[in-house]
Structure 1
Amino acid sequence: MRDFAVAPPAVSPLTGGLADSVFETAARTPTLAVLARRRAPGSATWDEVTAVELRDEVVDLAKGFVASGISPGHRVAIMARTRYEWTVLSYALWAVGAEVVPVYPTSSRDQVEWILRDSACVGVVVEDEQSVMTVGSVCATLPRLRHVWQLDTGALDALARRGEYVPVTTVDSLRRIVLPDSTAVIAYTSGTSGRPLGCALSHRSLASPCDTLLAGWGQTAAPAGEQASVLAFLPFSHVYGLMIQGLCLRGGILMGHEPELGAESLSAALQSFRPTYLYAVPSVFEKIYKNFLRVAQEAGRGALFERAAETARDFAAAVERSRLGRGSGPGFDLRLQHALFERTVYRRLRAALGGRVHRATSGGSPLHRDLSLFYEGIGVYVHDGYGLTETSGGVTMQPLGRERSGTVGQALPGTDIRVADDGEILVRGPSVFQGYVNDEGATRAALRGGWLATGDLGFLDNDGYLTITGRKKDVIITSSGKSVAPAALEQRLRMHPLVHQAVVVGDNRPCVGALITLDPDFLAHWRGNLTLYGESREAREENALREEIARAVAAANSTVSRSESIRAFRILPQPFDQTNGLLTPSMKLRRDSIVRHYAAEIEAMYQARARLPRQAPTEEILSWDDADDVFR
């Protein structure tokens, strides 16, 4: 082993189950607002739900589950978007000792059948008629499935009525026998290759990162004297979303739910709910930045925004050097520029996020350093953390007052991290999962002497900061034997406003290539501002687009060695998404599927490059013949 980081002791261990926090908060501060729900779908008015009101709803549903025959150890799936009912249902199930199996509502029929059968669910909660039909089509293969509850037809009210005659003491008795090491969630991995595996997560493992983060960073969620608030929009079907829910309910943070992830819906929700803290994934922060740029350009202020963005990054980088003891901080001229843009630009950008967000957390994959510096420079510091399903969420966080952009921070208290000789990150701590359901072989392969082999690659610096460089299984080996980790190149490519997605390829090829999809909103804006004349406008537009993407490729190449650089690329007409099976429900790329799906395009890309004469790198990447015209 090369690197080893041992964290200080963690917080006090859990003594019961996750549902206890709902009951304890209600007893301690009954009138505290813990949830907020829209008065009507799409409404800008939010009604607060107090701790005692939530507890009573949880108890009513728990009684309904008992009356329906749900017992400790039974597994019940929740197949719904991020909505208020998800939270109430999960805590009601935990209150009676049941185990929650999250299922993405966009899952295919085969995925639903596999998860419900593999986890032996006795019940499933769905949102609408379409989901009922999906579950119904596989019921014949699910002999243990006895209940299907549909939210949009009043299932919660029906459950509450069914449990009216169950004594409250029954729920109390069941809740009190739930142990910290009892399984709380069976969370299925995204399944980027092969069938998804069910990760058994205990009440202790789910509570541990939440309690540690609240103890060390909870005070940063809102200004002093204000109640913190979080808009939950990431799927609760993913462990990141579950961690956000746990943080809010365990920390007395007001939580609202937004089920729609579209730009307009999310923007409207941020404006009306006005959170103090933002949790998102890098693609959301990238999209927000691109929207800022697009809106500025449409208003004729694109150059002003780009100067403001550059100043924000420079200012944040100088502040970072100062707090790390490596510099004196921003100089007079930079502080003056930053103050000017604060009055004219930055406060307006923060207003677009609701006006109260001053800190945020990014997770799911690494956040590009330039993007982190931009947000810090406009007054919203974004902590970049690291975790995975098998660790019940986060295992690292940026130390307060010593934040370092471009890394995912240091190990959480109570968690140990080390890096193996091949660069794989190993984790040990209270949040590590219990194992994979029905797959002892996979469990033994992942858990090695108490250490979880994450499959991620990275390194620890001398101060214990962890940097993620990619996934072990994603490393590309070119025909010359060069190993290339694609994550950094893909991340840099996505920084260009026109680039939506990027997949680096090159296994057994003479050089590295890239498949690129375009951001539809920014593409429309770019085309509208393109000044081209003559009858051949369409051909000129295609050439201009290829040249613009070639500049993005050249910028990405500037961050790596020549042997690792992208020497060929292909612009694809359609994005990777779940409907074509090229994205997981958690928005991760299914690389093997993408390579198979676009095998012909990849072959044509390399054939076109082989026909090009030898040129300097910049000339080579900017010279493409008709074979690379995907718009023909």
Structure 2
Amino acid sequence: MTGLLTTLRAHAEADPCGIALDPIIAAPVTWKELAERVAKSAEELRRHLVPAHPYVMRLDHGTETAILELALLEAGIPVLSLPAFFTDEQVRHAVSACGAEDETLSGPQPAPSLLPRLTARVTFTSGSTGTPKGVCLSAGHMLTVAASVVDALGSAHAGRHCALLPPGILLETIAGFFATMLAGGTYVCPPQREAGLGDPFRPDFAAMVAHLADWRITSLILVPEYLAGLVAVLERSGQRLPDLTLVAVGGARVPVELLQRARALGLPVRQGYGLTECGSVVSLEGAGESVDGSVGRPLGHMRAAIASDGEIVLEGDMFLGTIGEPRAPGPLATGDIGRIDDQGRIWVEGRKSAMIVTSYGRNIAPEWVEAALMMQPEIAQALIHGDGAPAPEALLVPASADADLAEAVAAANRRLPAYAHVAAWREAAPFTPANGMLTGNGRLRRKAIARTWLEGEPSFFDELEAATWRDRLRFLTIPQVRAGLAGTISRRTYLDYLTQAYHHVRHTVPLMQAARARLLDRPALVTALDEYIEEETGHEEWILADIAAAGGDADKARSCSPSAATQAMVEHAYARIREGNAACFFGMVYVLESVSVALAQRGASAVAANLGLPPEAFTYLTSHGALDQDHMTFFAALVNGLDAPNDREAITAMAREMFALFGAMFAAIAMENQHVAA
């Protein structure tokens, strides 16, 4: 027994009807129910699982996930918790490395590696497709960290803590979930989409703010990007979140100006610092600290010092080691550069390995310059590079369709000394966990980004994503699109969408055939089109079946005329194929398939839940979404093989045009009784 079940039983005895878990979408779980269910589940796990083999968890937040997490800890079964954004290849590496079994993966899985004794959790910090080492943590260590968090905060914050970080992120598990269980608070654990985090393009921060207010949330753990999004919505809307007593921010450096803006809005923000090897939490800013920018004092179980070269060095209760390699005794060199002030507060100034040395011999921590850039509302993400160059350079992701990045860089430069001015920049596609360029808790994966954007020329697919990112952002501002992704459309609106979908999807195969006829001298493209034609044939009939299942008139939908916007989109596609480079068709493929993935992953389930429609009413979206995820991998390989500039220009131009035309189709659909987030 870890002691955590004892704590659950103590809470159950003191407050049997108190709420321990609130999944929002289902009935809450009391402390009495939780203690009983965890004990029963732990016993079943002991009978059916082999302790030497980790249990693979790839679940969304919710009641069953929380109970399973606690039961596995109590049963002594190691957990390999993998974020949902890991690819099959990343999952296969993690699973095989630690000797777990995952029935969701096909093919042979390599022999197990040895886990250190007492391992309760294995976490892979890089998520790369290479061979990162899994960090192994004990139950005692994780609960020690959670208890230290509770001691540092006091019992006043044991209210309603909401899980916003993705499932599988160690920071939320230890400092959010386990700490809430120890403190006797309520762990609010809705599925990600319910909290505004189901959109694969970007979080819906307006919905997030509304939900946090409705659910009376008192504490959160955020990464800087989430904090920036919430601050922007609160500043724009005038809304406030007065129930919050704690907003802990970690995972990456937080610009001082963002902390100040957050506090001006009444957000009780406290910055923290941690490493996976230390259970994700090393220090936390104290309440009422008058100095912005530090990450606080070490928690009670940790000690920090600064090495002669400025590296932060830690001692205390830590990880057991990595798979097959026990931890060497002695202090842990963090790789972070920083200082400790006379009040014992840690200040993190950058990564030792990321330090830039300009050709003028100036040492520059990229995080410092990135923080200045990220304070500009026009910039969503920034990465500084330029080691050995005269001055820093940047990769930038615009935050809006009309963002003036040149002015944003100029504004950031005005805040920096001359030797740190950004001399050049280029736009990049977003850095996300899904593309391997961002960790689950918001850190830039600098090596992965460099491989894609800085070491030679980017692939055409990456360039296409960057070139069309502003068009995608503009598409996502359309109220009908936002409502569809949030699930707040009426049945009438959904039926109208399906009707227009029928009228453009029925042209998919004819458009492919038209493109094929003009590309007969290009066997690779003909073969690709033949595969697409085979898969897409008959999909318009799926849509009519969905209309009938949703209570609409399929025959009327078939016989009616398309809207002017839908007709314009289809006619434009035919004209481009007929009159220009027929390879442009793949620009249309890129837009429709990437958008359908979002609609399938987020919109279909949200609309189904809100309207109470059966699964049979969503066969086109869900089936097409699954197909298009595979198609996008195929598509990337296909277009990356197109080297001719005229092909690339045609595809990019068509993609940009299609985002606008497809958006116009959505905008032409009437909405009724909607509550679309601003």
Which TM class, normalised by the smaller chain length?
0.5 to 0.7
- Are the equivalent residues in 2 in contact too, given 1:107–1:585 (CA < 8 A)? no
Alpha carbons of structure 1 residues 34 and 110: separation in structure 2 relative to 1, 3 Å: same
Which residue is 1:272 aligned to? 214
Residue 374 (1) aligns with residue 254 (2): no
Identity %: 28
> What amino acid sits opposite 1:379 in the alignment?
G
- Are the equivalent residues in 2 in contact too, given 1:366–1:408 (CA < 8 A)? no
Which deviations, in whole Å up to 9, do the C-alpha atoms of 1:198-229 show, x marking residues without a partner? 111112211122212222312441xxxxx611
Which residue is 2:370 aligned to? 490
Matches within 5 A, 1:115-134: 115-122=94-101, 124=102
Which residue is 1:11 aligned to? none
Alpha carbons of structure 1 residues 270 and 217: separation in structure 2 relative to 1, 3 Å: same
Alpha carbons of structure 1 residues 405 and 194: separation in structure 2 relative to 1, 3 Å: farther
Which deviations, in whole Å up to 9, do the C-alpha atoms of 1:96-142 show, x marking residues without a partner? 111111111221111111111111114x5xxxxxxx6xx3324x124
**Aligned partner (choices 171, 178, 185) of residue 253 of structure 1:** 185
Give the secondary-structure state (helix, strand or coil) at the position aligned to 2:154: helix
- Are the equivalent residues in 2 in contact too, given 1:456–1:472 (CA < 8 A)? yes
Which residue is 1:398 aligned to? 285
> What is the aligned-residue RMSD (CA, Å)?
2.8
Distance 2:127 2:53 in 1: 24
> What amino acid sits opposite 1:419 in the alignment?
I
Matches within 5 A, 1:561-580: 561-572=417-428, 574-580=429-435
| 1:192 positional shift | 6.5
> What amino acid sits opposite 2:106 in the alignment?
S
> What amino acid sits opposite 2:275 in the alignment?
L
Which residue is 1:167 aligned to? none
Deviates further, 18-27 or 211-220: 18-27
Which residue is 1:228 aligned to? 159
Gapped regions of structure 2 (runs ≥ 5) = 198-202, 459-648, 657-678
- Are the equivalent residues in 2 in contact too, given 1:75–1:101 (CA < 8 A)? yes
**Aligned partner (choices 344, 353, 367) of residue 464 of structure 1:** 344
Matches within 5 A, 1:443-592: 443-444=327-328, 449-519=329-399, 523-524=400-401, 527=402, 545=403, 548-572=404-428, 574-592=429-447
Which deviations, in whole Å up to 9, do the C-alpha atoms of 1:137-176 show, x marking residues without a partner? 24x124679xxxxxxxxxxxxxxxxxxxxxxxxxxxxxxx
Which residue is 1:34 aligned to? 20
> What amino acid sits opposite 1:435 in the alignment?
G
Matches within 5 A, 1:283-322: 283-293=225-235, 295-296=236-237
**Aligned partner (choices 146, 167, 170) of residue 210 of structure 1:** 146
Which residue is 2:512 aligned to? none
- Are the equivalent residues in 2 in contact too, given 1:384–1:398 (CA < 8 A)? yes
TM-score for the superposition, normalised by structure 2? 0.62
Which residue is 1:94 aligned to? 73
TM-score for the superposition, normalised by structure 1? 0.66
- Are the equivalent residues in 1 in contact too, given 2:23–2:63 (CA < 8 A)? yes
| 1:508 positional shift | 2.7
Which deviations, in whole Å up to 9, do the C-alpha atoms of 1:535-592 show, x marking residues without a partner? xxxxxxxxxx5xx3233223333444322221111123x2122443323344332222
Distance 1:142 1:64 in 2: 27
| 1:421 positional shift | 1.4
Which residue is 1:531 aligned to? none
Distance 2:127 2:88 in 1: 15
Distance 1:120 1:21 in 2: 31
Distance 2:90 2:127 in 1: 10
| 1:439 positional shift | 3.5
- Are the equivalent residues in 2 in contact too, given 1:61–1:89 (CA < 8 A)? yes
Which residue is 2:552 aligned to? none
| Larger helix fraction of residues | 2
| 1:60 positional shift | 3.0
Distance 1:368 1:497 in 2: 13
Which residue is 2:316 aligned to? 429
**Aligned partner (choices 337, 343, 349) of residue 239 of structure 2:** 349
Residue 238 (1) aligns with residue 180 (2): no
- Are the equivalent residues in 1 in contact too, given 2:90–2:127 (CA < 8 A)? no
Distance 1:397 1:220 in 2: 16
Distance 2:265 2:209 in 1: 18
- Are the equivalent residues in 1 in contact too, given 2:398–2:405 (CA < 8 A)? no
| 1:392 positional shift | 0.3
**Aligned partner (choices 21, 38, 44) of residue 7 of structure 2:** 21
Distance 2:209 2:286 in 1: 30
Give the secondary-structure state (helix, strand or coil) at the position aligned to 2:212: helix
Which residue is 1:50 aligned to? 30
Distance 1:601 1:499 in 2: 23
- Are the equivalent residues in 2 in contact too, given 1:280–1:362 (CA < 8 A)? yes
Alpha carbons of structure 1 residues 597 and 39: separation in structure 2 relative to 1, 3 Å: closer
Give the secondary-structure state (helix, strand or coil) at the position aligned to 2:395: strand
- Are the equivalent residues in 1 in contact too, given 2:136–2:322 (CA < 8 A)? yes
Which residue is 1:137 aligned to? 106
Gapped regions of structure 1 (runs ≥ 5) = 1-14, 41-46, 125-131, 146-180, 222-226, 297-347, 528-544, 603-628
- Are the equivalent residues in 2 in contact too, given 1:214–1:247 (CA < 8 A)? yes
> What amino acid sits opposite 2:444 in the alignment?
L
Distance 2:63 2:290 in 1: 34
Which deviations, in whole Å up to 9, do the C-alpha atoms of 1:26-79 show, x marking residues without a partner? 244322211112245xxxxxx3211110122213322332342x1444411111
Distance 1:59 1:438 in 2: 31
Alpha carbons of structure 1 residues 508 and 485: separation in structure 2 relative to 1, 3 Å: same
| 1:408 positional shift | 0.5
| Larger strand fraction of residues | 1
- Are the equivalent residues in 1 in contact too, given 2:285–2:295 (CA < 8 A)? yes
Which residue is 1:281 aligned to? 223
> What amino acid sits opposite 1:434 in the alignment?
L
> What amino acid sits opposite 1:592 in the alignment?
K
The number of residues matched between the two structures is 448
- Are the equivalent residues in 1 in contact too, given 2:304–2:314 (CA < 8 A)? yes
Give the secondary-structure state (helix, strand or coil) at the position aligned to 2:182: helix
> What amino acid sits opposite 1:349 in the alignment?
Q
Which residue is 2:273 aligned to? 386
The runs of 4+ residues in structure 1 deviating greater than 6 Å are: 629-632
Give the secondary-structure state (helix, strand or coil) at the position aligned to 1:394: coil
- Are the equivalent residues in 1 in contact too, given 2:252–2:442 (CA < 8 A)? no
Give the structure, 1 or 2, with the largest relative contact order (CA under 8 Å, sep 6 or more): 1
- Are the equivalent residues in 1 in contact too, given 2:146–2:179 (CA < 8 A)? yes
- Are the equivalent residues in 2 in contact too, given 1:478–1:512 (CA < 8 A)? yes
Alpha carbons of structure 1 residues 218 and 192: separation in structure 2 relative to 1, 3 Å: farther
Deviates further, 185-194 or 474-483: 185-194
- Are the equivalent residues in 2 in contact too, given 1:19–1:94 (CA < 8 A)? no
